[in-house]
A and B are shown apart, each in its own frame.
Chain A
Amino acid sequence: MAEFVGGFGVPHTPLLWHLMDGEVPDDLVPVKAAFRRSRAQLEAARPDALVIVASDHFHQYHHGVMPAFAIGKADHIQGTHDNEERSFGLPAVEMPGHPRLAESILGREQLSGGFDFTFSNAPVLDHAYVVPLLYLRPDMDIPVVPIHTNTNAPPLPSAQRFVDLGHHIRAVIREHPERIRVAVIASGHMAYELGGPNQFSGRSTDPEFDAEAARWMGQSRLDAAVEACTFDRLTAAGNLTLQFLNFLTLAAIAGRPADEVAPVECRFGNEPFFTWEAS
């Protein structure tokens, strides 16, 4: 039986890596501090494995093939793609995988939990995974199970399905045969736009959505979140707001209100920071 020892909902905005290297601009000082706090909390949780729920941004998965949910099952995992090194200065990274936990989530002979998962035995992670790890666990020494969710190329899984995925992972953690400590990281955005008319406006593209989203996390109101998080509502808040769905999976894994709901307002809108400590 494994144990859930912490959940961390964090941003992955790749421009942060360059901007927070060296002298940090005033508005990003609290972002760096929030990452530092999450890093200490993760360290204190002493996890043996990390499940990371995030959305590949047209790197490993793209319009040539786009799985709804894909589990990375491998001994060794690579991170960062050529164009992310070029565009964002992100380093190429390597980390251990946790194929046994991946198998519990995925299934062995048959797929597990009523999910028709895709799998990859050669996962290559993009900034949605690498940026959180660079701040939360820069040594990248804890074995990882990466879970890709399609929040970028419709048709997407429904919000309910993101919650169901969380319930599945929650059950898997309880039933996994090893006595290991499992922490979960999810990355994504609150209201956010990229590539549309409102990108880089210097503020949230929908403060009302952000306030509501913070309440869902802080009060564990997943039914309300599922009802509200339709494709139209999320994209009205900015096209990448769809990535908020990853936090529904995290909240469902935790199964209770977040201990800390502390989004940081900065040039990228409200950067999400939601934390669950060990139960």
Chain B
Amino acid sequence: MSRGAIDIALYEIDQTNQTIEDFTTDPERFLAGFDLSDDERTAFLEWDYGTLYALGAHPFLLFQVVRSLAVGRGLSMPDLLRQYRETVTPHGTPDYIT
């Protein structure tokens, strides 16, 4: 279990425009130093944020990063909110304690 590493990675991704670009262009390289499990790393690499949510990513940090990345991908806010809700709702409210 490495929820703390998920949260630290989310924190680092969202720091600046440069960190967002670095993660977007070469996520493997960006994540190289983080102590993530294989499942967690794959979820980041595929930007499968529903799995990160289910694994216990902090909801606040996760949504901030989802929002930041969506801006660069041209998703409107209403569409993003709808997509986010549909993605996380099946997972309920997972334990996010690190």
Contact = CB atoms under 8 A, between A and B. Distances in A.
Interface of A: 57-58, 62-64, 82-83, 86-87, 152-155, 193-197, 199-200, 235, 239-240
B67 A197 contact: no
A195 B16 contact: no
A152 B60 contact: yes
Contact of A57 (B8, B16, B60, B96): B60
A58 B92 CA distance: 23
Given A62-B7, A197-B85, 5 more contacts: A63-B8, A83-B64, A87-B64, A154-B96, A154-B98
Chain B contact-residue range equals 20 to 34
25 contacts: A57-B60, A58-B11, A62-B7, A62-B8, A63-B58, A63-B98, A83-B14, A83-B16, A87-B67, A87-B68, A153-B58, A153-B98, A155-B97, A194-B60, A195-B59, A195-B60, A195-B61, A196-B88, A197-B85, A197-B89, A199-B81, A199-B85, A235-B93, A239-B59, A239-B60
Contact of A63 (B11, B16, B88, B93): B11
Contacts, number: 69
A231 B92 CA distance: 17
Q: Which one of A82, A235, A240 has the greatest number of beta carbons of chain B within 10 Å?
A: A82
Contacts of A193: 59
Interface of B: 4, 7-8, 11, 14-17, 58-64, 67-68, 81, 84-85, 88-89, 92-93, 96-98
B89 to A, nearest CB: 4
B93 A58 contact: no
A196 B59 contact: yes
A155 B60 CA distance: 16
A195 B20 CA distance: 19
Given A63-B98, A153-B98, A197-B88, A86 B60 contact: no
